[in-house]
């Protein structure tokens, strides 16, 4: 950890807790700052705040009082989930108080370089792949960020011979100042999180921050098949390394004659890649480029790609029962993710789908239903999905109460050689606290079949 004096005896407000807020507050306290933590949850229901109080950190819970800003804070470290239209944040901005997110702190103290991954889809899979490939190549990676490990905690442990592999959301990237990854990756861009950002332009601008501070000594790995991504690339000062799953490129990562290439070097046959799906091929290509830039041998890349079956809840292979293959894609909380999942399979699919009704229809899914032989629905959107399935000509459509009951029904509707796929195309909150809980229930129900 670098010796950082800039926060010594500075008054700093950490706004919002969760893991990142706890990590930021503890780090700033260690760096000698006068830290105040403000969290909306009451202290009696807030074990994180209680633990910080025990460390001697000032804690104010139960709301976000505007008058707190009168105490003369010189910096605010904001939880990424708090939007910028929050009244406290708006007032702080009007007063000229700098606002950052915890990932900026992590960068400032880290002795290790960063490989940073963002994009609408594929972030977690790409981050996990890079981490596992670097591990196989003895490159001492440390995984962090929006994947569950707090960046400021990981950065304190990192040495110069480590590489921090970090998944970053648009929320986190809006709060950077100096953050500069050695390698940045932009997987793709689609409309998302407009309830937070307000406009598509603001969302794209936030994603573009990943390369904002890069120089010609850094690398920016980009999806060559998306014009919006390439538009960002053209304004970057970094060395641009493109990838494409659809065409041969003069340089970068691509597929040619069934082989994965980096520049003109054959890396491995796509037949030896375990992870299914054309969208995952994009994630693989960007991961291979990052690994090659960091000097990983092809043998280590092959070892991982020949065994990596997916991140939990993201087209995760669960196993085979009586020649039916089961996949958990509970992370598919939108139509695009389910379209990608269905495109990953040539075999007949029994699809389990449904969940929170956000007011949208599912007409866009109809062209993707060509290999769906049966549809099992649940949740608030069951009727809408059934209507889309009927329009697509799916003859067998059954509604059940929940995911647990959907699994044995799907098994009965399947035949040897079929895929049984949970890919809901909806958020989980009508029935389950998180998509992870929904996916775990699916996995447990599959294991009961055995």
- Rounded CA-CA distance 292/134 in Å is 10
- Rounded CA-CA distance 254/292 in Å is 13
Looking up tokens 């691509």 gives: 254
What is the β-pairing status of strands 239-244 and 253-256? parallel
Q: Is 377 annotated as contributing to ligand binding?
A: no
- Rounded CA-CA distance 388/181 in Å is 44
- Rounded CA-CA distance 339/423 in Å is 9
Q: Is 120 annotated as contributing to ligand binding?
A: yes
Q: Is 253 annotated as contributing to ligand binding?
A: no
Q: Is 395 annotated as contributing to ligand binding?
A: no
Q: Is 128 annotated as contributing to ligand binding?
A: no
In sequence order, the 6+-apart residues with CB closer than 8 A to the CB of 96 are: none
Other Cβ atoms less than 10 A from the Cβ of 417: the count is 10
Q: Is 5 annotated as contributing to ligand binding?
A: no
Tokens of 171: 């929320």
Picking from 263, 257, 307, 262, the residue whose alpha carbon sits closest to that of residue 285 is 262
Q: Is 121 annotated as contributing to ligand binding?
A: yes
Order of strands, sheet of 34-39, starting from the edge strand that comes earlier in the sequence:
58-61, 34-39, 11-15, 75-78, 99-100
Known binding-site residue numbers: 119-125
Known binding-site residue numbers for ATP: 119-125
């Amino acid at each position: 950890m670098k010796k950082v004096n800039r926060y010594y005896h500075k008054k700093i407000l950490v706004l919002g807790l969760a893991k990142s807020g706890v990590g930021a507050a503890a780090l700033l306290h260690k760096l000698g700052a006068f830290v105040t933590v403000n969290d909306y949850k009451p202290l009696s229901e807030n074990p994180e705040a209680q633990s910080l109080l025990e460390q001697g950190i000032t804690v104010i819970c139960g709301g976000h009082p505007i008058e707190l800003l009168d105490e003369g804070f010189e910096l605010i470290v904001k939880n990424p989930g708090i939007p910028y239209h929050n009244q406290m944040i708006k007032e702080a901005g009007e007063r000229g108080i700098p606002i950052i997110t915890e990932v900026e702190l992590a960068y400032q103290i880290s002795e290790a370089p960063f490989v940073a991954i963002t994009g609408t889809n594929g972030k977690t899979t790409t981050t996990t792949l890079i981490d596992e490939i670097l591990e196989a190549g003895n490159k001492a990676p440390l995984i962090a960020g929006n994947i569950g490990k707090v960046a400021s905690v990981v950065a304190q442990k990192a040495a110069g011979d480590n590489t921090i592999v970090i998944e970053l959301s648009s929320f986190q990237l809006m709060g950077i100042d100096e953050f500069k990854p050695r390698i940045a990756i932009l997987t793709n861009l689609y409309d998302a999180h407009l309830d937070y950002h307000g406009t598509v332009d603001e969302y794209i601008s936030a994603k573009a921050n990943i390369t904002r501070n890069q120089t010609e000594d850094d690398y920016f790995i980009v999806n060559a098949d998306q014009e919006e991504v390439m538009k960002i690339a053209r304004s970057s000062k970094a060395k641009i390394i493109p990838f494409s799953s659809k065409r041969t490129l003069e340089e970068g990562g691509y597929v040619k004659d069934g082989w994965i290439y980096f520049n003109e070097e054959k890396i491995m046959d796509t037949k030896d890649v375990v992870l299914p799906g054309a969208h995952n091929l994009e994630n693989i290509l960007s991961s291979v480029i990052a690994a090659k830039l960091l000097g990983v041998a092809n043998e280590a890349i092959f070892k991982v790609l020949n065994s990596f079956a997916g991140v939990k809840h993201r087209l995760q292979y669960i196993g085979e029962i009586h020649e039916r293959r089961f996949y958990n894609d509970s992370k598919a909380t939108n139509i695009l993710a389910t379209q990608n999942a269905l495109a990953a399979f040539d075999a007949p699919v029994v699809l389990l789908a449904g969940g929170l009704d956000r007011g949208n229809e599912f007409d866009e899914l109809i062209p993707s239903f060509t290999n769906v032989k049966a549809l099992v629905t649940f949740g608030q959107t069951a009727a809408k999905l059934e209507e889309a399935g009927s329009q697509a000509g799916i003859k067998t459509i059954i509604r059940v109460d929940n995911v647990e009951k959907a699994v044995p029904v799907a098994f009965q509707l399947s035949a040897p050689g079929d895929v049984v796929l949970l890919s809901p195309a909806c958020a989980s909150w009508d029935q389950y606290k998180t998509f992870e809980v929904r996916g775990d229930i699916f996995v447990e129900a599959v294991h009961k079949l055995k």
